[in-house]
Amino acid sequence: MDAAEKILLIVLDGASDRPTYHGKTPFMDATMVHVDKLAKEGILGIMDVIAPGRPPGSDTAHLSLLGYDPCKIYTGRGPFEAAGVGIDVKPGDIAFRGNFATVRDGEVVDRRAGRIRDTHELVQAVQENLDLEAEFIFKESAGHRAAFVLRGENLSPHVTPSDPLHTGKMIEVRPTVDDAASRRTARILNEFTRKVFEILKNNTVNIDREKKGELPGNIVLLRGAGVVPHLQSFEDRWGLKSAVIAATALVIGIGKLTGMDFIPTDGATGGVDTNLTGKIENVNKALKNHDFVLLNIKGADESGHDGDFKKKATFLSRVDRALSNLEIDESMLISVTADHTTPISLREHAGDPVPLLIRGIGVRTDRQQKFDETTAALGGMNRIRGLDIMPTLIDLIGKGKKFGA
């Protein structure tokens, strides 16, 4: 075999970090026998997923990693969330992320309605009773989350969120651009806020919750407005039949919008309690009839946002153990990386480059033997950008597109 034929891209979401605990990062602290073996057999480098010092969102990061320039196509997170929860969004739709929340006397008292879990009946009540001046789609997502889509002419993503982003006084949506479409969209969203509250305030689910001393989900706060972009399919772009294995709506949504097969995993939660074994089993299966598989594992990011070093390092050790079940053969090119750095110290995304490894036939190996941030910086790849990784992987399987003759 002269080159690998298939690509497995493993994104350890938010796993990249800064040294905190005795000068170590979670990658350095974790036991990562299998990943380190890949590092030893392959080549390492560091990668600015967007640009040096620019903290990526998970959305812009994954777009970059898949070879779609977020600077050209990204207007907000809503479209990818909406696609991820199963809304059949269309280019031009205006999409939002939503939260069920609790409002009392015009004040948001809890942005997650007491972390309400089953919102199905509430969503149904809205679907059946809400009437707006534009066509819309409203759908529940995991826990307190939901997605909302406006469809039609004369709409705009240039509006402020209805979500105040912290507890306190409810706010009116305002246009951020002074044109008819933005003014109309703001008006529709304010109408949405008022009417949804009227529909939900006396819903039996909420009355029952209040009786039990739980917070009612009596309002839906929207944010992340974005236009659904027209994306070339991943297969048209790179010539590879592709699948995505992920738990979070956002990554699933990006996969769906780029025409990937989404392969669900029972027990995949997006948290540290996720079903890692199931995900790896799905990868093994998916690689039998796909040329490209994107595996996103989210738990490390959650630990980073929690500021919990031990939780993050322990989860990475678990990921490594699960990877012992990965069926590696020489037709595969494997790349392991993160979509962004989520330092324990910041509890938020940061712009540090992420470590990157590539292992497979024809890869120029280097002398590095461990997968962590500082070792990767000594690797033979040196430093590349997120948008460079797909062309690099495609080229390594012998499918690079020559420029010139």
| Binding-site ranges for a copy of itself (CB under 8 A) | 2-3, 18-20, 23, 25, 46, 50-61, 70, 74, 76-77, 224, 343, 345-346, 348-352, 361-367, 373-374, 377-385, 388, 390-396, 398, 400-405
Nearer to a copy of itself, 231 or 276 (CB): 231
Where helices occur in 154-200 by DSSP H, the ranges are 180-200
Place of tokens 């990011």: 301
Report how far Cα 62 is from the mean position of its chain's Cα atoms.
Answer: 7
Residues in contact with 217: Cβ distance below 8 Å, sequence separation at least 6, in sequence order: 100, 101, 102, 113, 116, 119, 122, 144, 200, 205, 206, 209
Q: Indicate the residue among 104 and 310 with the shorter CB distance to a copy of itself.
A: 310
Q: Nearest approach, Cβ of 329 to a copy of itself (angstroms)?
A: 17
- Cβ-contact 145, 126 below 8 angstroms: no
Q: Which is nearer to a copy of itself, 80 or 265 (CB)?
A: 80
**CB 258, min distance to a copy of itself, A:** 16
Place of tokens 């033979």: 380
| Nearest-approach distance from CB 300 to a copy of itself, in angstroms | 17
The dihedrals phi and psi of 348, each to the nearest 5 degrees, come to: -145, 165
Counting Cβ atoms within 10 Å, is residue 395 exposed (0-12), middle (13-18) or buried (19+)? middle
CB of 4 to a copy of itself, least distance (A): 11
Nearer to a copy of itself, 73 or 181 (CB): 73
Q: ∠ at Cα 117 (253, 167), nearest 5°? A: 90
- Angle at the Cα of 279 from the Cα atoms of 273 and 285, rounded to 5 degrees: 165
Complex with a copy of itself: residue 191 or 395, whichever CB lies closer: 395
Please report how close the Cβ of residue 3 comes to a copy of itself at its closest, in angstroms: 6
> Which residues, 6 or more positions from 24, have their beta carbon under 8 angstroms from its beta carbon?
none
Helix, strand or coil for residue 317? helix
Q: How far is the CB of 56 from a copy of itself (least distance, A)?
A: 6
Please say which residue, 1 or 212, places its beta carbon nearer to a copy of itself. Answer: 1
168 or 400: whose CB is closer to a copy of itself?
Answer: 400
Could you tell me the CA-to-CA distances from 192 to 58, 138, 188, 349, 402 in Å, in that order?
28, 11, 6, 31, 51
- Residue 96's closest CA among 149, 60, 172? 149
11 membership: H or E segment, kind and range: strand 6-12
**Least distance to a copy of itself, CB of residue 374, Å:** 5
Relative to beta strand 107-110, strand 94-104 is antiparallel
Question: Least separation, in Å, of the C-beta of 198 and a copy of itself?
Answer: 29
By beta-carbon proximity to a copy of itself, the closer residue of 175 and 343 is: 343
> Is the Cβ–Cβ distance between 70 and 63 less than 8 Å?
yes
**Sheet containing 43-48, strands listed edge to edge, beginning at the edge strand earlier in sequence:** 261-262, 242-245, 292-297, 6-12, 332-337, 354-359, 43-48, 383-385
Smallest gap, in angstroms, from Cβ of residue 392 to a copy of itself?
A: 4
Q: Could you tell me the smallest distance in angstroms from the CB atom of residue 350 to a copy of itself?
A: 6
If the CB atoms of residues 103 and 354 are measured against a copy of itself, the closer one turns out to be: 354
Q: Between residues 321 and 383, which has the closer beta carbon with respect to a copy of itself? A: 383
Of 285 and 383, the one with the shorter C-beta distance to a copy of itself is 383
Is the Cβ–Cβ distance between 314 and 15 less than 8 Å?
Answer: no
Q: CB of 254: closest distance to a copy of itself in angstroms?
A: 11
